[in-house]
Amino acid sequence: MTRPRSIGGWLLLAVLVWLIAYPLALVLVNAVRGPGGWTLEFVRTFLSRPTEWQALWDSLWISVASVALAALIGVPLAFLFARYDFPGRRVLGAVVALPAVLPPLVGVLAFLFLYGESGFVAHLVKRLFALDEAPWRLEGAVAILLVHAYSMYVYFYLFVRAGLASLDASVFEAAASLGAGRRRTLLRVVLPLLRPSLAGAALLTFMTSLASFSAPYIFGGGFRVMTTQIVSTRLNGDDSLAMVETVSLTLLALAALWLLRRSDAPQSAGTTGKGVAPERSRVASPMGRLALATLSWVLALVLLLPHLTLLLVSFVPVGTWTTEALPPAYTVGNYVTLLRDPVRARPLVNSLWMASLATLAAVAISVAAGVIAVRRRERAGPAIESLLALPWAVPGTVFAIALATAFSVRAPLAARFILVGTLWILPLAYLVRNLPITGRAVLAGFRRLDPSLDEAGASLGAGRWRRLRRVTLPLLRPALVAGATLAFVTAFGDFVTSIMLYTYDTRPVSLEILSSLRNSDVGVAAAYGVVLMLVSAAVFAVGAERRAAG
């Protein structure tokens, strides 16, 4: 296609700069600017406080430990399900990915009910050993790591399974014909070939746990990571210090991104041919089959326990469950309250419309970016792509602070408006956080499209809009659906940006869960959690179906 001189590309770039780069830049400026002008005072304060260094260090080691734990669980599971056949493999293969349908805060909630000091497991242990008190408290680094390992091993599991599926069976056969045993094949052939998958999963896990907020917020207690530190500093009214903290967390995230990307040097010698995936080996001995099957079912139960717990607790009437091992009474009253009571129903409606709006906008922007950057290869394209990916590398807390900073001032000449405290700030925040998710999916979709399809449309006399509607969008459907489902689920369960930007009128479900929990209204909190879980699962399921149909 000839290169059209369109202003659309520059317009989109301007919007993205305004939404993404500008607020971040303002944070940087505010970190070194006080009422009296430029100053390094806040930076000095930050540097001189051991608590700040401690929080930064805690963020770092928790993230590294999360990567290690998630890999330890996820990689063996991926091998188990990809390489062995045993009864129940198919069902379990789906169950293993289930932690993904729990929004972070809901996962934390489930862990609290399950493993907390007044949770089911603690009750059971107390009853068994006739103890007065639970022998542990679910808090601090251990609790955070437990939640992280549970929710993030899925990345390793999915990435490594995909990596294994793309390996050609002939690779294994070649290794065997060269006399390499299982162990040597694994260490010298399979793991090196899986390196891109492992590096991708490690990067995703690291960034997610560096940005993790829900688990440290609920379980942290005195243990502070940088995300919770920022929020508490801001609640204390020390905005300038919060800016410096935000900058430090951003730098840590970008440094990690840079390091991990660099270690994952492009290694194109991988498997390029579309090979035949290796056959699963059937476990032959009956004892072995039994052992594997038992192990997998126990595992499935452990993985499903948080979901079941949440479901059970959601039927507990207010104030009835105190010291018993299992709740003494059950009711659907919590759900009725959720739907009937306008005050209780409001957060659901809020989350629904805000997440939907943000998702729609993110998809629209991503499609525009695809047309500009991939289809028409305009000059603004590379910058647009970088900006779309940027929010992925920056923790949600940072963006919350950045948006709160940029849009709490009215200065039309500086393109700043008061949006904080209005209906629009949360959808906007969700949009910014959704952009990397939808952008990645949609741009990849555009890259897979054969450009001659669009040219065929043009040579058949179809104008730009008709081609977009009749050819491009239908063909992009799998990518659009994938991007939109993931974005919607993320926004619908969002806690980390919401807690800093919500107002009473726009309070989302996650905040209502938090306040129910504070009021010891565990049944209602769990009921909200179940709704979040079910909506997420339903959206994923519908997404998978529509993708398959497309």
Partner 1 sequence: MSAPFLVLDNLTRRFGVTTAVDHLSLALARGEILALLGPSGSGKTTALRLLAGFEAPDAGRVLVEGEDVTGTAPVARRFGMVFQHYALFPHLDVGQNVAFGLESLGIRGAELASRVAAALALVDLSGYERRRISQLSGGQQQRVALARALAPEPRVLLLDEPLSNLDPALRERTRGEIRDLIHRTGITTVFVTHEQDEAFDLGDRVAVLRTGRLEQVGTPEALYAEPATAFVGRFVGRSTTVPAEVIGIGPRGARVRVEQVEWDVPPTGSRPLPAPGAARLLIRPEALWLVPSAPDTLAGTVETRRFTGATSAYGVRTSGGALLEVYGVPGAFAVGDRVSIVPSRRAGGGLHLFPPDEA
**Chain residues in the site for partner 1 (CB under 8 A):** 1-2, 450, 452-453, 455-463, 466, 470-471, 474-475, 477, 550
User: Min. distance of Cβ 466 from partner 1 in angstroms?
Assistant: 7
CB of 146 within 8 A of CB of 114? no
User: Min. distance of Cβ 451 from partner 1 in angstroms?
Assistant: 9
Backbone φ and ψ of 313, nearest 5°: -65, -30
Cβ distance to partner 1 smaller for residue 44 or 466: 466
User: Min. distance of Cβ 472 from partner 1 in angstroms?
Assistant: 10
In one letter, which amino acid is 439? G
Other Cβ atoms within 10 Å of 503 Cβ, number: 12
85: left (phi over 0), alpha (psi -120 to 50) or beta: beta
User: Min. distance of Cβ 3 from partner 1 in angstroms?
Assistant: 9
Q: Strands 33-34, 37-38: parallel, antiparallel or unpaired by DSSP? A: antiparallel
Hey, what are 531's tokens?
Answer: 């709704």
Backbone φ and ψ of 131, nearest 5°: -95, 155
DSSP 380: T
What is the C-alpha to C-alpha distance for residues 45 and 244, in angstroms, rounded to an integer? 9
Cβ distance to partner 1 smaller for residue 65 or 449: 449
User: Min. distance of Cβ 547 from partner 1 in angstroms?
Assistant: 13
User: Min. distance of Cβ 446 from partner 1 in angstroms?
Assistant: 16
Enumerate the β-bridge partners of residue 38: 33
Cβ distance to partner 1 smaller for residue 60 or 458: 458
Chain centroid to CA 137: how far? 27
What is the C-alpha to C-alpha distance for residues 262 and 203, in angstroms, rounded to an integer? 11
Q: What angle do CA 278, 281, 282 make, to 5 degrees?
A: 150
Cβ distance to partner 1 smaller for residue 1 or 124: 1
Cβ distance to partner 1 smaller for residue 253 or 479: 479
Distance (Å) of CA 203 to CA 62, 67, 98: 14, 8, 21
Cβ distance to partner 1 smaller for residue 290 or 453: 453
Nearest Cα neighbor of 264 from 206, 208, 212 is 206
Q: Is 33 helix (H, G, I), strand (E, B) or coil?
A: strand
User: Min. distance of Cβ 469 from partner 1 in angstroms?
Assistant: 12
What is the C-alpha to C-alpha distance for residues 504 and 345, in angstroms, rounded to an integer? 13
Cβ distance to partner 1 smaller for residue 454 or 494: 454
Cβ distance to partner 1 smaller for residue 2 or 322: 2
Cβ distance to partner 1 smaller for residue 183 or 274: 274
Cβ distance to partner 1 smaller for residue 250 or 472: 472
The DSSP code sequence of 410-465 is: -BGGGTB---TTSTTHHHHHHHHHHHHHHHHHHHHHHHHS-HHHHHHHHHTT--HH
Nearest Cα neighbor of 97 from 81, 120, 115 is 81
Taking the CA atoms of 516, 517, 523 and 527 in sequence, report the sign of the dihedral they define.
Answer: positive
Cβ distance to partner 1 smaller for residue 445 or 523: 445
What is the C-alpha to C-alpha distance for residues 341 and 531, in angstroms, rounded to an integer? 16
Nearest Cα neighbor of 205 from 398, 112, 105, 69 is 69
User: Min. distance of Cβ 7 from partner 1 in angstroms?
Assistant: 18
Cβ distance to partner 1 smaller for residue 5 or 518: 5
User: Min. distance of Cβ 359 from partner 1 in angstroms?
Assistant: 23
User: Min. distance of Cβ 377 from partner 1 in angstroms?
Assistant: 13
**Largest alpha-carbon pair distance within the chain?**
81
User: Min. distance of Cβ 480 from partner 1 in angstroms?
Assistant: 13
What is the C-alpha to C-alpha distance for residues 91 and 301, in angstroms, rounded to an integer? 12
User: Min. distance of Cβ 362 from partner 1 in angstroms?
Assistant: 23
In the chain, what is the straight-line distance between the N-terminal and C-terminal CA atoms, in Å?
27
